[in-house]
């Protein structure tokens, strides 16, 4: 059970994603979380750097879908100006939204990665649904109320994973 919380990869940010490596693995789609994965949870729109990154990712042939637990108003306000497909109120870690995003992209699970900043929602949900998962460092040090609760549980899970020898990266912020 504990291994369900273990990401396949750990990166400092989405900007460190190795697109060549993904293409060699026949990855064609990216499901990504929004809040504290792409931008701070309270930032209403994409940063210029993120817009450039999303444009580059699309130019490299990847499809991107944002899957967020946040409400429709928040997610659509962020995504519609960028043209990024999205699923709001996803109820992660439930698998339904991940599977829906994969189906909407017309891809197989083996062709899609899930990226997020939370072990309890993004990694656990992506793993349970059968996707390759990538954990990134949250872009902000603060969180919304529910995420603060998840972070406490996450720290315990990560400590157990590290104690069992599953984690091989430096733990400095959790």
pTM of this structure: 0.85
Sign of CA dihedral 143, 148, 154, 159: positive
pLDDT of residue 162: 73
Residue 40 is classified by DSSP as -
Per-position DSSP letters for 118-166, written without gaps between them: -IIIIIHHHHHHT-EEEEE--SSS---HHHHHHHHHHHHHHHHHHHTT-
pLDDT of residue 39: 93
Residues 6+ apart with CB under 8 A from 139: 13, 36, 37, 38, 39, 40, 117
Per-domain residue ranges of the chain: 2-163
Tokens read off for 24? 């060699």
What are the E-state strand segments in the chain? 9-11, 29-32, 63-67, 85-87, 112-116, 132-136
* Helix, strand or coil, per DSSP, at residue 116: strand
Taking only the tens of pLDDT, the chain with its 174 residues reads 677 888 999 999 999 999 999 999 999 999 999 999 999 888 889 999 999 999 999 999 999 999 999 999 999 999 998 899 999 999 999 999 999 999 999 999 999 999 999 998 999 999 999 999 999 988 877 565 666 676 677 777 777 777 777 666 654 444
pLDDT of residue 158: 72
Of the options 3.40.630.10, 3.40.50.300, 3.40.50.1000, 3.50.50.60, the CATH number for the domain spanning 2-163: 3.40.50.1000
pLDDT of residue 163: 74
Give the bridge partners for 66, in sequence order.
32, 86
Q: d(Cα 60, Cα 19) in Å, to the nearest integer?
A: 8
pLDDT of residue 30: 98
* Helix, strand or coil, per DSSP, at residue 12: coil
**Residue found under tokens 């929004």:** 34
């Amino acid at each position: 059970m504990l291994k369900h919380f273990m990401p396949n990869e750990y990166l400092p940010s989405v900007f460190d994603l190795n697109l060549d490596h993904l293409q060699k693995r026949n990855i064609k789609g990216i499901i990504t979380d929004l809040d504290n994965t792409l931008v701070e949870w309270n930032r209403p729109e994409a940063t210029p750097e993120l817009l450039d990154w999303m444009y580059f990712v699309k130019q490299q042939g990847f499809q991107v879908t944002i899957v967020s637990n946040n409400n429709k108003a928040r997610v659509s306000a962020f995504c519609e100006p960028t043209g990024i497909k999205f699923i709001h109120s996803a109820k992660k870690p439930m698998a339904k939204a991940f599977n829906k995003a994969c189906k909407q992209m017309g891809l197989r699970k083996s062709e899609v990665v899930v990226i997020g900043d939370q072990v309890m929602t993004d990694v656990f949900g992506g793993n349970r649904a059968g996707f390759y998962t990538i954990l990134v460092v949250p872009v902000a040090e603060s969180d919304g109320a529910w995420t603060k609760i998840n972070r406490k549980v996450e720290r315990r899970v990560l400590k157990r994973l590290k104690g069992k020898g599953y984690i091989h990266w430096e733990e400095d912020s959790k």
